[in-house]
């Protein structure tokens, strides 16, 4: 028994609509994945760019959240890069994203975990191969950032890596109440701080202990 032509046409129409719907849904799904990856996604790390930036399978770059490692030409640049490579290269990573998933350069931004137990961002600070880098105070209410601060405190105490190098100490260090960076007194940024906003620290460890990071210009 064959299906009457009229009915066949209706079936065909329904099938076409169904396929179109599935395609639209699929496209949306793919589009979403491409745009902002879901939290807790896993990616293989294909390349290490420097101490705080990696490239994921698929080509996306990811900047490690909450830390800052030395730039090319600075002390510990190579050590930080090699250390990161030894931890993550070719490994499957779990990424916990920042509130804003991408920075202004379009790079993903997050905490990286290997085998769910190795918190990579923290390992770098624990080895003294980078600085804690907070953007706002409230970040410290998130456990990951808290762990980073604790790791840095210990690294400073033990004079690991960057914290063990000879430096010119100042009699005091200056910060603004509205910023999370601290400076040498002679830094050009200090002149711009309003008197009522000035905070001083007798030793730089006090500033570090609070989670402030050294200015990139005067490099205390
Ligand atoms: Zn400065």
Residue 96 sits in a domain whose CATH number is 2.40.50.90
> Is residue 28 one of the residues assigned to a domain?
no
Q: Residue 33: its pLDDT value, please? A: 46
Residue 59 and residue 131 share a domain: yes
Residue 153 and residue 46 share a domain: yes
Residue 134 and residue 54 share a domain: yes
DSSP-derived secondary structure for the chain: -PPPHHHHHHHHHHHHHHHHHHHHHHHHHHHHHHHSPPTT-EEEEEEEEETTEEEETTS-EEEETTEE-PPTTSTTHHHHHHHHHHHHTT-EEEEEEEEEEE-TTS-EEEEEEETTTEEHHHHHHHTTSSEE--SSGGGGGSHHHHHHHHHHHHHHHTT-GGGGS-----S-EEEETT-SEEE-TT-HHHHTS-GGGEEEESSHHHHHHHT-EE-TTT--
> Is residue 162 one of the residues assigned to a domain?
no
Residue 195 and residue 104 share a domain: no
Residue 141 and residue 50 share a domain: yes
d(CA 39, CA 111): 11
Residue 143 and residue 187 share a domain: no
> Is residue 93 one of the residues assigned to a domain?
yes
Tokens 């804003």 locate to 100
> Is residue 219 one of the residues assigned to a domain?
no
Distance in Å, CA 52 to ligand 1 centroid: 22
Residue 194 and residue 91 share a domain: no
Residue 112 and residue 80 share a domain: yes
Residue 186 and residue 89 share a domain: no
Across the chain, which has 220 residues, the per-10-residue mean pLDDT values are: 71 78 65 49 92 95 97 96 97 92 94 94 98 94 96 97 95 97 97 97 97 96
> Is residue 6 one of the residues assigned to a domain?
no
Residues bordering ligand 1, an ion, CB closer than 5 Å: 183, 187, 189, 215, 217-218
Angular region, 161: left φ>0, alpha ψ -120 to 50, beta rest: left
Catalytic position from the list 47, 107, 153, 199: 107
Distance in Å, CA 93 to ligand 1 centroid: 35
> Is residue 105 one of the residues assigned to a domain?
yes
- Domain containing 61 equals 42-157
Instruction: Count structural domains, the chain.
Output: 2
Which residues, at least 6 apart from 28, have a Cβ–Cβ distance to it below 8 Å? none
Residue 50 and residue 142 share a domain: yes
Residue 146 and residue 57 share a domain: yes
Strands 42-50 and 92-102: antiparallel
Q: Residue 166: its pLDDT value, please? A: 92
Distance in Å, CA 173 to ligand 1 centroid: 9
> Is residue 9 one of the residues assigned to a domain?
no
The residue among 129, 157, 185 that closes a domain is 157
**Cβ–Cβ < 8 Å for 205, 158:** no
> Is residue 138 one of the residues assigned to a domain?
yes
Tokens 């990424």 locate to 95
Question: What six digits make up the tokens of 151?
Answer: 């790791």
């Amino acid at each position: 028994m064959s299906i009457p032509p009229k009915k066949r046409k209706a079936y065909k129409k329904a099938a076409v609509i169904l396929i179109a719907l599935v395609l639209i849904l699929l496209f949306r799904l793919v589009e979403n994945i491409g745009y902002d990856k879901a939290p807790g996604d896993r990616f293989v790390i294909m390349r290490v760019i420097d101490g705080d930036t990696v490239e994921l399978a698929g080509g996306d770059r990811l900047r490690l959240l909450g830390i800052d490692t030395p730039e090319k030409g600075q002390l510990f640049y190579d050590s930080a890069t090699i250390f990161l490579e030894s931890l993550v290269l070719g490994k499957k990573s779990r990424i916990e994203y920042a509130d804003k998933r991408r920075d202004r350069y379009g790079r993903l931004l997050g905490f990286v975990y290997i085998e769910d137990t190795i918190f990579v961002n923290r390992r770098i600070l624990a080895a003294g191969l980078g600085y804690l880098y907070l953007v706002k105070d409230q970040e410290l209410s998130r456990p990951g950032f808290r762990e980073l601060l604790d790791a840095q405190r210990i690294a400073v105490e033990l004079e690991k890596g960057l914290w063990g190098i000879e430096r010119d100490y100042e009699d005091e260090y200056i910060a603004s109440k509205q910023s999370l960076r601290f400076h040498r007194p002679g830094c050009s940024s200090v002149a711009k701080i309003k008197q009522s906003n000035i905070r001083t620290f007798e030793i730089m460890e006090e500033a570090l202990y609070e989670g402030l990071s050294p200015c990139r210009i005067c490099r205390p």
